[in-house]
Amino acid sequence: MTVSFKVQIRRHSFFTSCDCLILGVFDQPELTGIAADIDAMLGGKLTRLKASGDIDVNAGKTLWLHEVDGIDVARVLVVSLGKADEFNARRYKEVLRSTWRAVSCSRAVKVDCRLPLLSVRNLDLSERIRLAVVELRYESYRFVQMKSKLDLEQCVLESVVFDVDADDSGNAQTAVQHGLALANGMDFARDLGNLPGNVCTPSYLAQAATQLAKDWTMKAEVLGHEEIEALKMGSFLSVARASTEAPQLIVLQYEGGKTGAAPVVLIGKGITFDSGGISLKPGAGMDEMKYDMCGAAAVLGTLRAIAEIRLPLNVVAIVPACENMPGGNANKPGDIVTSMKGLTIEVLNTDAEGRLILCDALTYAERFKPAAVIDVATLTGACVIALGDHHSGLYAKDEALAAELLQASSQSSDAAWRLPLDDEYQEQLKSNFADVANIGGRKAGSVTAACFLSRFAEEYPWAHLDIAGTAWTEGASKGATGRPVPLLTRFLENRAGMHCV
The whole-angstrom separation of Cα 459 and Cα 363 is: 9
Give the containing element (helix H, strand E) for 188. Answer: helix 169-194
**Rounded to a whole number, what is the distance in angstroms from the first to the last CA of the chain?**
28
Distances from the Cα of 190 to the Cα of 84, 97, 187, 492, angstroms: 34, 17, 5, 20
Q: Which residues pair with 163 in a beta bridge?
A: 10
- Give the CA dihedral 116, 134, 170, 155, nearest 10 degrees: -80
Q: Check: CB of residue 82 under 8 Å from CB of residue 27.
A: yes
Side by side, the strands of the sheet bearing 20-25 are: 6-11, 159-164, 110-113, 20-25, 75-80, 62-66
Active site residues: 281, 355
The answer to whether 22 touches 101, Cβ cutoff 8 Å, is no
> Helix 125-140 crosses helix 89-104 at what angle (to 10 degrees)?
40
DSSP-derived secondary structure letter, 120: B
